[in-house]
A and B are shown apart, each in its own frame.
Chain A
Amino acid sequence: MEWVSKLNNGLNKTASGLSKNLSTVFKGKKLDPQTLEDLEDLLISSDFGVSISKKIVDSISKEKFNDFDTNKVREFLSKKVSEILKLRYLPLNTENNGDPYVILVVGVNGVGKTTTIGKLANNFVKKNKNVLIAAGDTFRAAAIDQLKIWSDRSKSEIITKPTGTDAAALSYEALVTAKEEKKDILIIDTAGRLQNKTDLMNQLEKIPRVLKKIDETSPHSVLLVLDASTGQNAISQVELFNKSCGVTGLIMTKLDGTAKGGVLVSIAERYPIPIHAIGVGEGIDDLQEFEPESYSRALLGLL
């Protein structure tokens, strides 16, 4: 897999990469308490969070390893992790009986929503889908210009309104247009907002509300974009965005850096929300389908 190597590139670039640290952990022959503690520390260092790290390590402490080696323990760990992630494996399916499939993209500021939309659109267009993008971030300066460039790059169409326009009104108009022009997919961008800002979250809720006036089943997907460098706060983001507009899928971006996004494992354990894709770079092709097994293996430094 191309993205696995990209992910591993990121991991390999840093001396504190999990895989490198694991080798030190398993230098000894026995899984003694110190080794288990080091292991727990390593998972914590990858943003797994305290409780799930403890849980995973506890499960390994019960396991008997007869003349195990580093790789064997890693394999075991990655299996544990992928068991959790597999529960949330579900590729995005945009079939909608000829009607536009509506995707609403939400998230905190700066996580990479606009870039992700550009890449998503590109992926769809490559599959011969007819894509319309709605530039719903009518708050941030130049967000519309940024998305215009991405629509050019991905050869998809875009509907815009001046900065300051009501995003819900724009979304409504976009869906009307998408239906008229028989688009396969409508992707709606939204302004970034912190999940604890009640007024901004209320504004966001308005978008699905008006979309339902045209198509009761829309939006068909509400994608929450998460930044891999985010720590435990990602859990609060899932919790509150889900409460506000019913998140149907997750995308984790910026996995090409040193951050490993281990919090995704915590989230997968807590919320029955599928993980669709991961972002591994700034290029237009750097959005990859999420694969639990490869992801877990990459997390643990296994190729």
Chain B
Amino acid sequence: MFQGLQDKFGEILGNLKKRGSLKESDVKEALRQVRIALLEADVALPVVKKLIKDIETKAIGQEILRSISPAQMVIKIVNDHMIEVLGTKSEDINLKTSPPAIILVAGLQGSGKTTTVIKLAHKIKSKMNKKVLVASLDVYRPAAQQQLKILGEQADISSLPIIDGQLPLDIAKRSIKAGALQGTDVIILDTAGRMNVDEALMTELSQIHATVKPIETLLVADSLTGQDAVNIAKAFKERINITGIALTRIDGDARGGAAISMKSVTGCPIKVLGTGEKIDDLENFHPDRIVSRILGMGDVVSLVEKAKETIDEEDAQKLEKKILKGQFDLNDLRDQLRQMKKMGGMSGLMTMLPGISKVKKQMSQSNIDEKMLLHQEAIINSMTPKERIHVKVLNASRKRRIAAGAGVEIQDVNRVLKQYKQMSLVMKKMKKMGKKGKNINPEAINNLIPNQNFFKH
């Protein structure tokens, strides 16, 4: 099916090898394939529909990179959007409360709760140096409490002694008492697996939740889960306040669409991944890896990323050549403005530079207008290609036309032109220096830059 998908994309690629912006038809065709890919990966249908709708709006009109087909471009947009939906950074288990911090673990039968409990206990104990107590509230499945006890012994993690016949809620209370007595930092409560439609057991779960008031409530979900993921997530979310998801069996060969279904329905981050049968096989969540797996088009995504890098590099080289030749026209100025815009405008640029917060504050006080970049670009856009290359042809009447086209005053046009002149002056001087010696002294460049606020209206 994966192969089929790539072939399909190959077809579209052949038909539509052109640059420009993404048209509605390109986007729709590519998204039809994405829809099937997501459904085959077990992303729940309502979630797929929402994703497709959001991506469609996002993608139409976006610029297509050189050497990339529209379909490939769409895939990249899908990829980035899904990463955004899943949350861009990994979130840790929350233990920020006065001890003992209680973690409640719930889920369907066979989702991997007990294994996750012991792995989590091991991680908290060994990596964070905390005293951990585990307790099983599963009085239903034969030998379930026994299982946690044995796993605890194997991993050197203390578990609450089993008292036959005690009810889940009482076991929970007893574990808190025992934890307090033993100076435990973290208590992890394993619960019985339950069907989301099992009214009695779901009520029991919400009672336990209300009694123990956990700082972290994890829903353990099997990454092999199909369309039912939304129902499961919804039902658990309705009854107990889920704070995170533990996704198990990620070492299987399922595409793991349940991850995005669960995240979309609960809004809760995926906090840990079960990656194997050994006690250390618990990892933090990396959205990009999961997305690449669900979408199954990692190679397309990296292709687009590579193309993007190449283009940025090519553009930079072109500009450098132009500067060295002393040819710097308004097209280049526009490219620079766009580059700045891409990097998040002036304030975005400033946040990227270390130790610049003070300057940033001053800038914001000195009334830097973020829209200015847009205005300047609009002014250059309103020029004819000839005007952009041969600035000298710009007479008063042309300037009036440009100002009207960009919706600004003539003074604004003049300001851009002045800016351009100053910059090309700098370029010319740089060119001379470049001829003299290979190494350009940065200070010398600083001196070249006119002592005037470029970005002030």
Cβ < 8 Å to B, chain A residues 26-53: 41, 44-47, 49-50
Alpha-carbon distance between A141 and B277 when the two chains are bound, in angstroms: 12
Q: A112-B110, A231-B257 given as contacts; is B226 within 8 A of A257 (CB)?
A: no
Choice from A140, A146, A234, A257 contacting B196 with Cβ under 8 Å: A257
0 or 1 for each of A225-253: is its CB under 8 Å from B? (1 = yes): 00111111110100000000000000000
Q: Are A16 and B39 in contact (CB under 8 A)?
A: no
User: Which B-chain residue is minimally distant from A237 (CB atoms)?
Assistant: B224
Q: Are A229 and B253 in contact (CB under 8 A)?
A: no
Interface contact B222-A196, CB-CB below 8 Å:
no
Given the contacts A230-B226, A263-B226, A145 and B146 also touching, CB distance less than 8 Å:
yes
Question: Do B112 and A109 touch across chains, with their CB atoms under 8 A apart?
Answer: yes
Q: Check A229/B252 contact, CB under 8 A, given A109-B112, A141-B147.
A: no
Complex CA distance for A257 and B254, rounded to whole angstroms? 21
Q: How many residues of A contact B (CB 8 A)?
A: 47
The reply to whether A194 and B147 contact each other, CB–CB distance below 8 Å, is no
Contact A14 B36 (CB under 8 A): no
Whether B249 sits at the interface, judged by CB under 8 Å, is yes
Specify which of B222, B230, B235 lies most central, judged by the most chain A CB atoms within 10 Å of its CB.
B222
Residues of chain B at interface, number, CB under 8 A: 45
Binary B-proximity of A36-80 (CB < 8 A = 1, otherwise 0): 000001001111011000000000000000000000000000000
B195: CB under 8 A from chain A?
Answer: yes
Q: Please classify the interface of chain B as helix (H, G, I), strand (E, B), loop, or mixed, using the class held by over half of its residues.
A: loop
Q: A41-B45, A142-B146 are in contact. Are A259 and B111 (CB under 8 A)?
A: no
- A99 interface hit (Cβ, 8 Å): no
- Contact digits for B53-79, partner A, Cβ 8 Å, 1 yes 0 no: 000000000000000000000000000
Residue A108, interface by CB 8 Å:
yes
Residue of chain A at shortest CB distance from B231: A258
Using Cβ atoms and an 8 Å threshold, which residues of chain B touch A140?
A: 147
Given contacts A140-B147, A141-B147, contact A232 B226 (CB under 8 A): yes
Are B151 and A282 touching (Cβ within 8 A)? no
Assess the B254–A236 pair: CB atoms within 8 A: yes
Is A91's CB within 8 Å of the partner chain B?
no
Bound: A195/B254 CA distance, A:
10
Tell whether, in the assembled complex, residue A44 and residue B45 are in contact, meaning their CB atoms are under 8 Å apart.
yes
Query: A-side binding surface: helix, strand, loop or mixed?
Result: loop
| Contact A254/B195 with A44-B227, A47-B226, A141-B154 known, Cβ cut-off 8 Å | yes
- Stretch among B137-145, B283-291, B437-445 lining the A interface: B137-145
- Roughly how many angstroms separate A123 CA and B112 CA in the complex, as a whole number? 28
Check if A13 sits within 8 Å of B197, measured CB to CB. Answer: yes
User: Quick one: which of B36, B144, B197, B253 contacts A50, CB cutoff 8 A?
Assistant: B36
Assembled-state Cα–Cα distance A236/B154 (Å) = 33
The interface residues of chain A lying within 8 Å CB-to-CB of B196 are 257-258
- Name the contact of B108 in the complex, choosing from A47, A108, A229, A282 (C-beta under 8 A): A229
Chain B contacts of A16 at CB under 8 A?
230-231
Q: Tell me the smallest distance from the CB of A275 to a CB of chain B, in Å.
A: 17
Could you list 18 examples of A-B contacts with CB < 8 Å?
Answer: A47-B228, A108-B249, A109-B112, A109-B277, A142-B147, A194-B253, A195-B252, A228-B228, A229-B222, A230-B225, A231-B254, A232-B40, A233-B224, A256-B197, A258-B195, A258-B228, A259-B228, A259-B231
5 closest residue pairs by CB, A with B: A231-B226, A110-B110, A231-B42, A142-B147, A149-B142
